Structure 1
Amino acid sequence: MKHLILIAFLILASCKGETKTEQEVALDPSVQEMWERFITSHPEFKGEEQPESWFFHNNEADANRLAKLVLEGKKQAGSGLYTWYEEANADLPSVGTQHIITNFYGKAQAIIEVTKVDTIPFNQISEAYAALDMGTTDEPLKKWKKAHWDFFSMAMKESGEEPTEDMLIVCEWFETVYPKN
């Protein structure tokens, strides 16, 4: 439940564009269908609870673009503010946790599994990590810093805070486990 609260906060606190209400984020049947196909091909997960489903960002263009990058295996990381976990009294992501990534309209696109989690100051994010998060090798660190500084600035402004170069970022590495390319 803590993760649902955090994910809802992250989606609603995202940088720009149209946002969805709780009613609009109703579970699409494709989420359960994807999970059932996954456990049919991976029976070792048969007794596991269906993972949470969510989309990256808060607007259609970015959510769908990022889901496509996950499917292509190009996006293999995600970033959040450490303070968000503290404020939500939520645990940091755990290695082995799975999530069902959807498009903006909630249609299941992929299942990811967390492979590594670390907290890193904003100003110490590496180019290699940025490339995995942004899904590009074209100036990934420059693009990561701009996109995330803007995103965190807007989200923090709502609570009267300002970003700093040394703010802690929760860096979450993952792999796409279904469907496999």
Structure 2
Amino acid sequence: MNARSDIEKFWKRFLSSNPDYSTNTIPPHYYFCDNKKDADECADLVVKDIKKATATSLWYFEQHNEVSPKAGNLAIVTDWIGNPNAIINTTKIEHVAFNQITAEFAEIEGEGDKSLKYWKEVHQAYYEREMENYSDEFDENMIIVCEHFRRIYSEV
């Protein structure tokens, strides 16, 4: 079985219990973070309804010519190897400078001890790794795309 067919089967099971979405095409699927341990942990946090937000740098979207998420978007959250874990619905997008991220947002993102201190440490390290092969450098004023979401489906 390959990951793509697992995604399709997951989506079909979702549609069977959520027919209101039957006109939607299969949404994009992705994992959070840049390593197996964190990606698998974040997927689990989404399933447990602890992680309700994510924070991608605007730099990433611009660098990779990707469209920023919008309220109403659906996505399938996977683990590191592509197994589908949950379907999320984006509820709100905010563009916030890194140095203006709040403790409330850090808690909603649900990672680690949920503190702003933890959030800043791990996210700065992540953004620095993300930029290391480019001529750009992390900046505390860089804009973060704060995506709030709700889990609308999981099978656990």
TM over 0.5: yes
Aligned to 1:29: 5
Aligned equivalents of 2:21, 2:60: Cα separation in 1: 30
User: How far off is 1:179 after superposition?
Assistant: 2.4
Q: Which amino acid aligns with 2:79?
A: N
Task: Give 1:72's aligned residue.
Answer: 48
Q: How many Å apart are 1:30 and its aligned residue?
A: 2.2
* Cα RMSD after superposing both structures: 1.7
> Equivalent residue for 1:82?
58
Matched residues in 2 for 1:157 and 1:28: separation? 30
- On the 8 A contact 2:108/2:114 being kept in 1, the answer is no
2:155 and 2:37 mapped to 1: Cα distance?
24
How far is the alpha carbon of 1:139 from its aligned partner? 5.1
- For 2:149, the aligned partner's letter is F
Q: 2:93·2:147 contact (CA, 8 Å) conserved in 1? A: yes
Q: Show the 5 A alignment for 1:15-164.
A: 27-135=3-111, 138=113, 140-164=115-139
TM-score w.r.t. length of structure 2: 0.91
Give unmatched runs, 5+ long, in structure 2: none
1:89–1:72: structure 2 CA closer, same or farther, 3 Å change rule?
Answer: same
**Is the 1:134–1:144 contact (alpha carbons within 8 Å) kept by the matching residues of 2?**
no
Partner SS state of residue 31, structure 1: helix
Q: TM-score, normalised by structure 1?
A: 0.79
Paired position in structure 2 for 1:179: 154
Aligned residues: 155
- Runs of 4+ aligned structure 1 residues displaced above 3 Å come to none
